[in-house]
Structure 1
Amino acid sequence: MRIGAHVDSTDPLGEAAARGAETVQFFLTDPQAWKDPEPRADADAVLAADVDVYIHAPYRINVATLNNRIRIPSRKLLLTHAQGAAALGAKGLIVHGGHVGSGEDVAVGFDNWRKTFEYGAKAGGFPTPILIENTAGGDNACARRFDALARLWEAIGDYEVGFCLDTCHAFAAGEDLLDAVDRIKAITGRIDLIHANGSKDPFDSGRDRHDNLGAGTIDPELIVAVVRAAGAPVVVETPGGVEGQGADIEFLRDRVGR
């Protein structure tokens, strides 16, 4: 099981080495911007390194929305970031499940996800696996509650799409972590990546605030149990930089083999 961290994109290999990370996740652009990624000077080094790479798509992407001004550029941005991720040999491009607006029919959001994969297929396919991540809040979200996730997979299950389980998000969304892996695999058939994060806020808070594994409101041994059950690579998106994330990586590495 490969364990690592989300790091700054300036020197991801250096950040990985400082944390003792076997996997590394980072953004290709400002996550709040509508920007296509540019070729990286360290691409050859990243490709040659014995570190598994995951890329997180910009937060602005929302392919589910009914707003054309957001949905259409979101589809295009998802494709260009998948292309940028492929240039680095990334194993997956993580993107949030998105949402529709207040009072709008979330079923349209699920269908917009289907149209996104249809768009990608017409463009020759997404060159990096798309891993949809569950989200923490929002009554109109496509991937907060697992029942919504099941409806999403009904719309997109015919496409080759992966899943990223975030422990903080599931906890904040009001989903019990004890059997989360079994319930998700019953829906998606797979878990490709775990975001092993503690939570600063209580169960079912709807708030997305990560904490270190020895802190916060989630029993860290419950996170360990999720990691063990999933058997997937792990990325911590926790605070504290090298020291905090390094400690979380060692915490998991020490326990997942038990």
Structure 2
Amino acid sequence: MKTQQRIFGAHESAAGGVARAVERIRAAGGDALQLFTRNQRQWEAPPVSPGEAQAFARALEDWGPHPVASHASYLINLAAPGEELSARSTAALAAELERCRALGIGLVVLHPGARTGSGTEEALDRAAASLDAALEAADGEGPLVLLENTAGQGSTLGGDLGELGAIIERSRHAHRLGLCFDTCHAFAAGHDVRSPQGLDAALARLDASRLRLVHVNDSKGALGSRLDRHEHIGQGAIGQGGFAAVVNHPLLAGLPMILETHKEKDLEEDRMNLAALRALVAPGRREPKRS
């Protein structure tokens, strides 16, 4: 029987420069990386310098041919009803796409935004329109934007998994859009991913052909709690059995699985969580050889 790779990695800090994030994932023993290419708490960021891009490229070459994704700023709200926030969000996403193009990063994870007092259908329309505007402002082909499901807290879109597909359907640039599935967010939004059957039901709400990345986070909150709080693998409400279902699910095979759990500077928590995920891979599955 043909086996498929399980690719495990983590979100790492880019403090000191984006090349340092590559150094950190290598030190943690991961095979995939997610990072912020800029300070995600600020709207403005300088463009990528030639030296920064060269250092990042050298670090990636030394690490090996592993998947890399950027996570767009949490400030971005493409569904915002106010013109000022909408314009700033569109510009910030366009700038992130340009930064990733300069760095050679092919995936950008994005939260779909929040209704902020407006109706859902209007918010979906705005999110798609702003997304299109950002893609067009960042002229030319570039990174694939991955819409991420949310915990459904407050007025955020994406707790209902079908809303991600609705945004893509409204977009003029659907070929540049994909999906990122977050286990904690799905569970907190009421999708019980703790069994293969529950995970099947959640994934059936998505266009599986668009899945490109998985965020593997346990949940501090209970099922349906709408609490976006990540926990270490096996130490939350999803538990080890739930992650055994996730890492061995055939629709997720071969996709980068990225941790977004808390870690100290020594990265010991990342090593612990990566080991926990690898231990859950069923016999007959395989992982890529780690550098």
Deviation at 1:58, TM superposition (A): 0.5
Q: Is structure 2 residue 117 aligned with structure 1 residue 112?
A: no
Summarize the alignment of residues 19-168 of structure 1 with structure 2, pairs less than 5 Å apart.
19-39=28-48, 40=52, 42-48=55-61, 49-50=63-64, 51-102=66-117, 104-123=118-137, 124-125=139-140, 127-156=142-171, 159-160=174-175, 161-168=177-184
| Aligned equivalents of 2:145, 2:99: Cα separation in 1 | 13
| Cα contact 1:83–1:126 (8 A) shared by 2 | no
Q: Which runs of 5+ in 1 are unaligned?
A: none
Amino acid at match of 2:276: F
**Which residue of structure 2 aligns with residue 250 of structure 1?**
275
Per-residue deviation, residues 169-198 of structure 1 (Å, max 9, x unmatched): 111111121433554355323321110001
Among 5, 9, 12, the alignment partner of 1:4 is 9
Matched residue SS, 1:4: strand
How many residue pairs get aligned? The number is 257
Whichever of the two has the greater Rg, that structure is: 2
Q: Which runs of 5+ in 2 are unaligned?
A: 1-5, 284-291
Among 192, 206, 228, the alignment partner of 1:176 is 192
Amino acid at match of 1:247: M
CA RMSD of aligned residues (A): 2.1
TM (normalized to structure 2)? 0.81
| Cα contact 1:37–1:80 (8 A) shared by 2 | no
| Cα contact 2:243–2:280 (8 A) shared by 1 | no
Summarize the alignment of residues 172-211 of structure 1 with structure 2, pairs less than 5 Å apart.
172-177=188-193, 178=195, 179-181=198-200, 183-184=202-203, 187-188=206-207, 189-211=209-231
TM (normalized to structure 1)? 0.90
* Misfit runs of 4+, over 6 Å: none
Deviation at 1:153, TM superposition (A): 3.7
| Aligned equivalents of 1:70, 1:126: Cα separation in 2 | 25
Matched residue SS, 2:90: helix
Greater RCO, CA 8 A, separation 6+: 2
Per-residue deviation, residues 101-156 of structure 1 (Å, max 9, x unmatched): 12x11111111222134324533345111011111133532211224334334323
Percent of matched pairs sharing the same residue: 28
